[in-house]
Amino acid sequence: MIKNNVNICGITPKHCFPECFPHFFTQFCETDKLNIVGKDPDIQELVEVSLTIVIRNFRILCTPVGKKLIVHAVKNIEIIFKNCGIKYVSRFCIPFCSLLDDIDEKVTEVNCIVEDIDVFQVSARCVAVSALLLVVPDFKSRNDEWHDPNTIRCDIKLKGC
């Protein structure tokens, strides 16, 4: 995807979204202000911004107000820019965590969907990257005795991605 002449990589394709709306999820938007440091020159032209999410770990917390799922993850952001026609790359690793309330099932996996990315050049050495993220847990399958006729349960794993 190209926004304002900058190639944006890392938005989860629509065909990879869950087939049905997940029952448990959390959604949030974060903006990271990233400064080019060291001997790299100033940014004359932004070429590409790439974002990937890596889930480091997750666990259920038993708290006085109920069970919660805490997810620890990392945003890996790569910025490619030009100065005098030469390309430079700056990489950033930004930890974050997410919390989901009222989790009472066994979580087997957590998926993070990147719904949108926006980039804004703040100055000659600073870029702001905003990401809209959706965190969705996947639960261990239950036996047939779980079936509730008033509820439709679906597989929330990402389709083929």
Global pTM reads: 0.82
Q: Which helix (H) or strand (E) is 96 found in, with range?
A: strand 86-101
Evaluate whether 28 touches 50 at the Cβ level (below 8 Å).
no
Closest CA to 41 of 101, 82, 12, 91: 82
Q: What is the mean pLDDT of residues 14-28?
A: 82
**Residue 150's pLDDT is what?**
40
Distance CA 50, CA 93 (A): 12
**Residue 131's pLDDT is what?**
97
Q: What is the mean pLDDT of residues 62-75?
A: 92
**Residue 12's pLDDT is what?**
92
